Amino acid sequence: MKEQSTTKGFAILSVASMMVKILSLLYIPFLRIIIGDEGYGIYGASYQVYVFIFVLTNSGIPVAISKLVSELIAVKNYKDAVKSFKIARAILFTAGVVMSIMLLIFAGPFANAVHYKKAYLSLLTLAPAILFTSIASAYRGYFQGRGNMTPTAVSQVIEQVANTVFSLLFAAMLIKYGVEAGCAGGAIGTSIGALISAAFLMFYYEKNKKFRIHKDDINEEVRRFTTKQLVRKIIKYGIPITVCVGMTYAGNLVDLYNTKVRLMAGGVPEIQATILYGFLTKYQQLLNVPIAIISSLSMAILPAISAAFAIRDKKQVKDKINYSFRLCFLIAVPCAVGLAVLSDPVFQMLKFGGGSYIMTYGSIVLVLMSVMQIQTTILQSIGKLYTATLYSVIGIVFKIITNYFLIAIPSINILGAIGGSVVGFLVPIILNHRIIRRSLGVRLSIVVHSIKPLFASILMGVTVFVVNYVFKYPLGFSKRGYFLNTSLTIVCVIIGVLVYMIGLTITGGITKKDLQGMPRKLTRLIPRFILRRIK
């Protein structure tokens, strides 16, 4: 199995993640038509409970596998790399069985605890997905540790395609029995998709499990580890990450409960509160499209930084960190500006219904979330696992407190959740930055990496706003139906990308060296007149 460069691995995962998130967006309007706005709020609530149990089971150990396998391969200890994967796979399988049974047994109490009793059936149908995703996560962590992102990417696409098809099929079949049954049908696809994805990864592993070892490394002496030592390493790496991610999603669960209760405290009727939470869910899912690219970057750089840190290559660690922040801002800033400017047209194009104003105000969260995700990955890579966890927990506490007060204010209501997210990410970002600089003994400036993308994004945002306004109002496109409005939105996105690229060439935000590191198929999409101006 061939190892891929960080750039190529990132590109592969990014393309796959974008495909997955676009598919997940495209089926939202169809699912919303089938189960309605209230049903979508129930569906979103059940999914939050499922995701919390999912991350408790699957967030830490796969990252531990990736980190441990990459470290062992870096010191040419191939036997223990495979051995550690098999141990972790057994741990994940056991955890998956236990957590699936737990969700089946406690589906009712969970639904009652978050004030969404109608989510009970959906939670039952989501229970098998915990086991199947546990199996899939073990293999993904192993392949990522070996520097091969292709199986992870392909499995994600397969999983989402199956999820989309079967979710819509079962939702349409079961909605005649009521909104609760329709929501449960929409959740069945998640379990089926996870099963198919796990089967693919198992098949791929059997075909590609052998290491190709260079002849000079065959007789090289390496330090071997006992099973007990490897288990300890997996637990050492996995538990802090599980707690860190678990606390984040525990905060989301508290938000789920808190949002509805505080909306009602502010005078919003219960059904309307459920609908508003559905609006928030749609906003979060749209935000997850660009976040998927940042997640891909995190998955690609973690093994690379871990390997460099394992052999004490300080320069490479610093280079990888700077590279990750540059890419983070190059992606997150224009996406945030674009979503803010085109929030209403995008919601209309995707037939999302109401709630576009949440994206207008809340797109800044995308940048903050991206920065924190990269910082957390860096801390995990250099062994500061508990520090990342502690700072995440502090951020969650601030978020919950802010939400509690803001959401109950009638003039703010659901936008209070945006304010809470801003505060909840800013606090750990500041703390993370300090500990990264102190731990590595290097000067790192997040702001420096953001200036050029910000300038190019503002230029893009102004241009797109003017184009959209002129065509939509003076020329009357808004009165001419869905097709013209959708076409205008797509044209605005294309113009935005071109103007952003021009802005980057003006500021020197992208260089020829960057292009050399990018896949050729991607650089061919850049117009020649822009390529000629890149230095």
SS3 of residue 408 by DSSP:
coil
Q: What is the pLDDT of residue 466?
A: 92
Q: What is the pLDDT of residue 67?
A: 79
Q: What is the pLDDT of residue 504?
A: 86
CA distance 65 to 68: 5
| Amino acid of residue 509 | G
Compute the C-alpha angle 103/108/112, nearest 5°.
Answer: 120
Contacts of 462 (CB under 8 A, 6+ apart): none
Q: What is the pLDDT of residue 237?
A: 77
| Ranges of the chain whose pLDDT falls below 70 | 1-18, 210-222, 248, 251-252, 296-304, 306-307, 310-311, 313, 442, 473-480, 512-535
Q: What is the pLDDT of residue 128?
A: 92
Q: What is the pLDDT of residue 151?
A: 84
Per-residue tokens: 191: 């379990």
pLDDT, tens digit (0-9, with 9 covering 90-100), for 330-344: 888 999 999 999 998
What is the secondary structure of 51-64 as a DSSP string? Answer: HHHHHHHHSHHHHH
Q: What is the pLDDT of residue 464?
A: 93
E runs forming strands in 39-190: none
CA distance 4 to 222: 24
Q: What is the pLDDT of residue 524?
A: 62
Question: H or E element: which one contains 164?
Answer: helix 150-174
Per-residue tokens: 8: 């190529």
Mean pLDDT of the chain: 81
Kindly report the pTM of this predicted structure: 0.72
Q: What is the pLDDT of residue 10?
A: 58
CA distance 89 to 95: 10
* Closest to 256 measured CA to CA, from 37, 108, 403: 403
CA distance 9 to 12: 5
Please check whether residue 77 is in contact with residue 130, taking contact to mean a CB–CB distance below 8 angstroms. no
Q: What is the pLDDT of residue 460?
A: 94
